[in-house]
Amino acid sequence: MTDRSWDERLKNSLLAFQRNEITEHLVYKRLYEICGDRNRKVLERISQDELRHYEIWKKYTKVDVRPSRLKIIFYILVVRLLSLTFAIKMMEKGEGKAQEAYKQLEGRLDEAASVIAEEEGHENALIALIDEDKLNYVGSMVLGLNDALVELTGTLAGLSFAFQNTRLIGVAGLITGVAAALSMMSSEYLAKKSDGGDRSPVRASMYTGIAYAVAVLLLITPFFVFHVYYTAMLSSIAAAVVVILFFTYFISVTRDVAFWSRFLEMAAISLGVAGLSFLIGYVLRVFLRVTV
């Protein structure tokens, strides 16, 4: 490779680095403006680091680069809808790829080593300093979601073959789901109150109930949309898999745990219970001669 082609490749890499740094600078700046005083200092410091990295690369390219507005909007929406930690972890995963690219520049650019050191320190600083209510109650959300998926997929599968009437199955599933959500909320409240820890029993019960209610709505909706019970049941199971996929990804990112093993475990439990319940519904319908 000629020096000229290498220099052109180097400049293109630096322009990409600039765009990434100025984009993340503006993301972190927006985050410390909307996330309150509790996490402001660490977010502001990292925002300034990203801006300084942008200026380092600009010394070599001699041009300004516009940020990715779509990326900024995306991460702000992620924070609003999910959590601050989840959004930051996603950004830091992207920076992990950038760090590999930075290492190729260590022998050519004096500042590359210092930028790499600072980028590698970002995630540890964030994990240590960010304090977020949602993540303090992940256990409660997991409890509500897992219980809803296992219990309701099994219930709906059993009712599907026993009744074979989608509207009736949907109503029965909704009643069961609401009652179970209230039961889970009260159980989680009493459990947290008995533990005497620093987590609020009210908040823990609310997170459990909300996770359960969301799962209930997603799982029973197909029975009010489709008229063929097989289609409704398969759609409900597909919704359960999507919920498991999304929530497992959320946990794997925020908690740094293995994605596939946890996903396969939750999916196997939910689908296994659904299959067993479907079989029980079939047996009851045949032997008890239930017709609706």
CA trace torsion 95, 97, 99, 104 (10° rounding): -150
Choice among 44-48, 106-110, 148-152 with the minimum mean pLDDT? 106-110
Rounded Cα distance between 166 and 217, Å, is: 15
Burial class (CB in 10 A: 0-12, 13-18, 19+), 197: exposed
Q: How many CA atoms lie within 13 A of 1 on its CB side?
A: 8
Q: Copy the structure tokens of residue 211.
A: 């996770």
Is residue 223's pLDDT more than 90?
A: yes
Please indicate whether residue 43 or residue 129 has the higher confidence score (pLDDT).
43
Q: What pTM, to 2 d.p., does this model score? A: 0.70
Please indicate whether residue 96 or residue 169 has the higher confidence score (pLDDT).
169
Nearest to 191 by CA among 181, 205, 207: 205
Mean pLDDT across 234-254:
85
Nearest to 57 by CA among 114, 124, 96: 114
Residue type, 4: R
Choice among 77-91, 118-132, 165-179 with the minimum mean pLDDT? 118-132
Give residue 23's pLDDT band: very low, low, confident or very high (50, 70, 90). very high
DSSP 63: S
The answer to whether the CB of 181 falls within 8 A of the CB of 216 is yes
Choice among 122-126, 166-170, 260-264 with the minimum mean pLDDT? 122-126
DSSP 99: H
Please enumerate in sequence order all residues whose Cβ is within 8 A of that of 88, keeping only pairs 6 or more positions apart, or say none.
31, 126, 130
Which of 39-56 are b and which e, b meaning 16 or more Cβ less than 10 Å from the residue's Cβ? beebbeebbebbbebbeb
Is residue 87's pLDDT more than 90?
A: no
Is residue 214's pLDDT more than 80?
A: yes
H or E element at residue 151: helix 138-163
Is residue 51's pLDDT more than 70?
A: yes
Average pLDDT, rounded, for the chain: 79
The answer to whether the CB of 249 falls within 8 A of the CB of 130 is no
Nearest 5°: phi and psi at 2?
-75, 160
**pLDDT per residue as tens digits for the range 104-142:** 666 666 666 677 667 666 656 665 556 666 666 776 777
The answer to whether the CB of 285 falls within 8 A of the CB of 162 is yes
Please indicate whether residue 86 or residue 65 has the higher confidence score (pLDDT).
65
Please indicate whether residue 61 or residue 124 has the higher confidence score (pLDDT).
61
What's residue 91's pLDDT? Answer: 79
Q: How many CA atoms lie within 13 A of 259 on its CB side?
A: 8
The answer to whether the CB of 22 falls within 8 A of the CB of 65 is yes
Share of the chain above pLDDT 70, in %: 76
Give residue 3's pLDDT band: very low, low, confident or very high (50, 70, 90). very low
The string of DSSP letters for 73-135 reads: HHHHHHHHHT-HHHHHHHHHHHHHHHHHHHHTTTTT-TTHHHHHHHHHHHHHHHHHH---HHH
Report the range out of 108-117, 212-221, 258-267 with the highest average pLDDT: 212-221
Give residue 14's pLDDT band: very low, low, confident or very high (50, 70, 90). confident
Q: Copy the structure tokens of residue 139.
A: 């256990």
